[in-house]
Amino acid sequence: MPFVSPSSYKGIILVQRLLEPGEIEALDHTSIPRLLLPQPLALFTARAARLRQLAAGAITGIPVEASLTGYLLLMATLVDAQRSVTAALAPDAIGLPDAAAMALSLEHHMPLIPVSGARAPIWRTIFSQLLDQLDGSVAAQPQLVPVLAELRALALDQAALEACADAVLDEDTAHINAMHAPFVAAALQVLWTVQASKAPSARVPVLETGTLCPVCASHPVASVIRIGGQSQGYRYLQCGICNSEWHMVRVKCSTCESNAKINYQSLDPVDAVDFAVADGGKVSLDALAKTAAQPANKNKANDPKKVARAETCDDCHSYRKIFNQEHDYNVEPLADDLASLLLDMLVVEAGYERASGNPLLWFGSDA
């Protein structure tokens, strides 16, 4: 499955003019929402539903290995628990930094609620409440029984629990139990997602780098092409911890910010060409011939073969997945990333390193 190499192209007539990355950056920032803050209850509801659809093989553009089905259903149950715990929180249970701290962050271009800072102690209560919610699921998922017993023991050891949280936020796979990590990450997601939902977007600073979340400074789990309103056709990176999304121009590496050697890998190499053209990229003459052979599908919406891609960079040799709402309205970056492990395996085999992990899936340091 070869990658499409950039080259020059001629003779393509586009109905709508596509802006180059530099032109997009030069636009008035009020015309492109730079930040999409999460709505926790709606987000967790949609994520759980998407995980179940993926597990059932109902998403044509993201084929799921049978061996992954059980895990996706388990994570859907965990996301259900996140929603229930979030809904039960008192309105003032989780707050934001005071006005002076927010002003300092804005002035110095620092993240508003950094994951490297002190965690509100309520996160440990959230963790225990998640376990309570999961107790009701053991009948349907008996594999949860031994895991919950270990997690209950972890909840009683504050030092060990905090150390696990540190490892999750640092993406430190060498010092974490891969089976415990998704559940600890889920509690941390509730904390930061609720905080992010309360943040005044005007007080969220623009960081010096576009590769980290401006709200909490975590890495993105994936990126997504959004549709609707002012976000139509623009690419956003989704934070793996607070679930905020921030704008980054298309055809730009979300790891090193280079745009010189970007390619797109998918399960269908012919359609990878179409994506590169639509994003203002350049394709080889051979690839152009393949594109021309399917003119009717070039800009067609709802094409399942264009839902999931891997954006690779030959400058830093990393990749991050990108999902396209233009071809599947219900794309959910974290869920879709979790389910598309086949794409990960193919891209890693081709010599690229994943830029950052998924908070709901961890591998041991020797994996």
The per-residue pLDDT for range 147-168, each reduced to its tens digit, is 999 999 999 999 999 999 999 9
- Report if pTM > 0.85: no
Whose tokens are 């809904």? That residue is 87
Residue 18 has a pLDDT of 41
Residue 49 has a pLDDT of 98
Residue 364 has a pLDDT of 60
The whole-number average pLDDT for the span 97-111 is: 93
φ/ψ of residue 65, rounded to 5: -65, 140
| CATH architecture classification, 40-202 | Alpha-Beta Complex (3.90)
C-alpha R_g of the chain: 21
* Lowest mean pLDDT across 130-139, 220-229, 288-297: 288-297
Averaged pLDDT of the chain = 84
CATH topology agreement for domains 21-31+208-354 and 40-202: yes
The per-residue pLDDT for range 349-367, each reduced to its tens digit, is 999 999 999 999 998 654 4
For the chain, domain boundaries: 21-31+208-354, 40-202
Whose tokens are 């376990």? That residue is 131
Is the pLDDT assigned to residue 279 strictly greater than 50? no
Superfamily covering domain 21-31+208-354 = FdhE-like domain (3.90.1670.10)
| DSSP H helices in the chain | 21-26, 40-55, 69-88, 99-107, 122-135, 144-156, 158-170, 181-198, 269-278, 285-292, 333-339, 341-349
The whole-number average pLDDT for the span 75-92 is: 97
pLDDT band at residue 333 using 50, 70 and 90 as cut-offs: very high
CA angle 40, 43, 44 (to 5 degrees): 85
Distance of CA 293 to the CA centre of its chain: 33
